[in-house]
Structure 1
Amino acid sequence: MALLFRNVTGKKTPSLITTFLFITLILTSLLITPLQANNNGSATTNPTAYELLEGYGFPRGLLPKGVLGFDLDKSTGKFSVYLNGSCSFSLEGSYQLKYKSTIKGSISDGKLQNLQGVSVKVLLFWVNIVEILRFGNDLEFSVGIASASFPIDNFEECPQCGCGICGFKQVSNIRTNPFLVSS
């Protein structure tokens, strides 16, 4: 309830204290809601899917450019990553990958497990990549019955749908059919 006073013309006007409190309330709500300071005093924002990967020890190049968003249940590690549509590309002719519009799985430090929505072409067949593990500076990709390891440096750049790593140097240490080696 605002305190009202009559001015010299007889009209009711709010008191200076009421006006000050109202302005303070508005400014406080505007400043506190969008900004939450982190330890170094800057405003925090939600991490991107690429930053999330890096937080768990993976390179951002495991996901193609153009991720629209993601969901993560921090208690279980279950996640979903959303792309604008399905996506396929070849990395310098070495191997072909295909991503569905939604990629699911669970993530923990150095482990991407129960993956759904990512496949690799082996000979004439598309096979689902079900797990990616980090061992030091190598990533091991598993399709269930076979696995292959690659240097983590090969995944620093995010591939672009339709052309892979467009305009970048050839990816090293990748065999033509790496998943033919049994684990």
Structure 2
Amino acid sequence: MGLLTLFILISFTAPIALSDSNPSAYEVIQEYDFPVGILPKGVTSYDLNRDTGEFSAYINKTCSFSVDSYELEYSSTITGVISKDRINNLKGVKVKVILLWLNIVELVRDGNDLRFSVGIASADFSINNFAECPQCGCGFDCNDFLLSSS
């Protein structure tokens, strides 16, 4: 009788375990209350330690684009520590301010705003600006980019 019970348990739990696939990097950041648009399109994989919040996200190559008056650059590896509404110790994301490239070191969600910090200064942006993922090379203006490059 014990062997039959074990067999029944295995047959009922196996399909559940097999159907449980890993969420995408974009789904994971949403679990921590961030919009998908904080990452560009093209994240190929990620590592996450759910106990410590340490993460790494991987893109095939360095990715840069402009959003409004800002130039952003993502390294091929982005690392940091994520918790609900906060990413700190961020590495691999830069913003160009005047002539200087500054590392974005922290990202905090405060209600409907996202605060990007470069350490000595920060800027707040509406979360609505990050509903979609920007694309390497053209950001959110990809239709204009494709028309001008053809």
TM-score normalised by length of structure 1: 0.69
Deviations 1:75-113 (A, max 9, x none): 100000000010000014x21100000000000000000
Pick from 113, 118, 131 the counterpart of residue 156 of structure 1: 131
Equivalent position SS for 1:36? helix
State the alpha-carbon separation in 1 of the partners of residues 122 and 135 from structure 2. Answer: 24
**Aligned pair 1:36/2:16, yes or no?**
yes
How much does 1:44 deviate? Answer: 2.4
8 Å CA contact retained: 2:135, 2:142: no
- Unpaired segments of 5 or more residues in structure 1? 1-24, 169-183
1:86 partner letter: T
How much does 1:166 deviate? Answer: 2.8
What residue number does 2:63 align with?
Answer: 87
- Aligned length in residues: 134
State the alpha-carbon separation in 1 of the partners of residues 117 and 102 from structure 2. Answer: 10
Pick from 61, 66, 69 the counterpart of residue 37 of structure 2: 61
> Greater share of helix residues, 1 or 2?
2
State the alpha-carbon separation in 1 of the partners of residues 81 and 142 from structure 2. Answer: 32
- Unpaired segments of 5 or more residues in structure 2? 1-6, 144-150
State the alpha-carbon separation in 1 of the partners of residues 29 and 140 from structure 2. Answer: 19
How much does 1:150 deviate? Answer: 0.3
State the alpha-carbon separation in 1 of the partners of residues 36 and 126 from structure 2. Answer: 14
Equivalent position SS for 1:163? coil
Percent of pairs with identical residues: 57
State the alpha-carbon separation in 2 of the partners of residues 36 and 143 from structure 1. Answer: 43
Equivalent position SS for 1:51? helix
What residue number does 1:176 align with?
Answer: none
**Aligned pair 1:124/2:99, yes or no?**
yes
Higher RCO by CA contacts (8 Å cutoff, separation 6 or greater): 2
Which runs of 4 or more aligned residues in structure 1 lie more than 3 Å from their structure 2 counterparts after TM superposition? Answer: none
State the alpha-carbon separation in 2 of the partners of residues 164 and 57 from structure 1. Answer: 22
> Greater share of strand residues, 1 or 2?
2
Matches within 5 A, 1:1-183: 32=14, 35-36=15-16, 43-92=19-68, 94-167=69-142
State the alpha-carbon separation in 2 of the partners of residues 158 and 111 from structure 1. Answer: 19
Q: CA RMSD in A?
A: 2.0
Name which one, 1 or 2, has greater alpha-carbon Rg.
1
2:16 partner letter: Q
State the alpha-carbon separation in 2 of the partners of residues 153 and 134 from structure 1. Answer: 12
